[in-house]
Structure 1
């Protein structure tokens, strides 16, 4: 386990959450294009690095766990209201109901915990771990930005915002350390982690493809700028192949 990777993910999460706390007004285009870029990058890393690994280890049965992971993310989205991909549908937007903060935090924290587990897995493909780290790190910026923005609209105090951000930023590094530690202690756990990686792949595919077609645009259209952001993200995902 490379501790530097976890520090970078921690820093990216905190940095993303600080943006809405520091800047009162954020350009509407920033979350849209940032999400498009990070979603495309995560999609590319998942397809080029993680998928080959799990199919090599599990064969055709990998597809079962990937599909399960996809629909597990569908379930988690009912709690988080899609904060993972910046596409929230919250009733308070119309001023009718208060925001139920706890389900949002639970759903997003479970997702963040799942994100960290593959970071504690020993990949045969030496380029998989650094590529995955970059994918998770870039995804954390809009993810925490959306989380803190929603918490601000929920009326949370500044002190509580910081507590939420710090705790949330620790979830993924903690799960990575836990997975790595348990994998070193038990061969059974090491073997089981590949199944969890397959579940996480399904979740990543759900999040990234949802970003492509929904997040940030009123009519879910693919504008020229959004296509460009997606293209840059995919291009950088291809660049990660140099880690091999």
Structure 2
């Protein structure tokens, strides 16, 4: 367990959530390009590192769990309204108020965050997999937390509650990683199950990253020139993680 990785992910989440609280006139296109970049990076890391790892561990059986994970994320999206990929499907505001059911949003997004932490507690045969995954999750956490806090602000949550939500949410993924690592060390059943859980998370990552490509922040789901550039840089950075090998 690399504690520095977990601290970096926690700090990235807090930093992302602080952006809408501190920056009043945030450019509306910034989250779009940020999401495109981080989504492409997460996609690249998943394909280059995690997918080969789960097939190495599970063989062709891995494909079943990757597909299941993809549709588990589809189900979670019903609770989180797509906040994990920055494309919220919330009801329209009436007057100046947004009627947002806070608990289902937090529950769905927290389940997703918990799933993100599980692969961080897995022992990979490829030494480059863990640092690459850490960078991918850390990058994804910034727009994810930004979207969460933005939605909570639109729901007129008081500032003290916003900070509580952000801190608790920031801790979910590191705590999940710690649990996966510790239980995996002490219980053989958990050790064997971790590979299957990582395969599920791979499917979830594939759903999130590909959805970001086409949906995040675009009115007609188009791929603008700037968004293509952001995606290209994200993929290039993912390829650069191969130097960790």
For the superposition of Structure 1 and Structure 2, which TM-score range results when normalised by the shorter chain? over 0.9
88-97 or 225-234: which moved more?
A: 88-97
Following TM superposition, by how much is the alpha carbon of 1:148 offset from its aligned partner in structure 2, in angstroms? 0.1
1:155 aligns to what? 156
CA RMSD of aligned residues (A): 0.9
Q: In the alignment, does 2:9 pair up with 1:5?
A: no
1:168 aligns to what? 169
Distance 1:28 1:35 in 2: 12
Gaps of 5+ in 2: none
Tell me, yes or no, if the aligned pair for 1:15 and 1:141 is still in contact at 8 Å.
Answer: yes
1:60 aligns to what? 60
1:130 aligns to what? 131
Tell me, yes or no, if the aligned pair for 1:66 and 1:201 is still in contact at 8 Å.
Answer: yes
Deviating beyond 4 angstroms after TM superposition, the runs of 4 or more aligned structure 1 residues are: 94-97
Deviations 1:154-200 (A, max 9, x none): 01000000000000000000000000000110122111100000000
1:139 aligns to what? 140
Deviations 1:92-147 (A, max 9, x none): 43558611001000000000000000000000000000000000000000000000
Deviations 1:185-238 (A, max 9, x none): 012211110000000000000000000011110010000000000000000000
Gaps of 5+ in 1: none
Q: In the alignment, does 2:244 pair up with 1:243?
A: yes
Could you say what secondary structure the match of 2:5 adopts? helix
Distance 2:169 2:188 in 1: 30
1:45 aligns to what? 45
Work out the number of aligned pairs and report it.
Answer: 244
Tell me, yes or no, if the aligned pair for 2:98 and 2:154 is still in contact at 8 Å.
Answer: no
Q: In the alignment, does 2:57 pair up with 1:78?
A: no
2:192 aligns to what? 191
Tell me, yes or no, if the aligned pair for 1:92 and 1:99 is still in contact at 8 Å.
Answer: no
Distance 2:37 2:46 in 1: 14
TM-score (norm 1): 0.98
Distance 2:77 2:31 in 1: 19
Distance 1:53 1:89 in 2: 34
1:15 aligns to what? 15
Tell me, yes or no, if the aligned pair for 1:73 and 1:206 is still in contact at 8 Å.
Answer: yes
Could you say what secondary structure the match of 2:218 adopts? coil
Distance 2:37 2:28 in 1: 15
TM-score (norm 2): 0.98
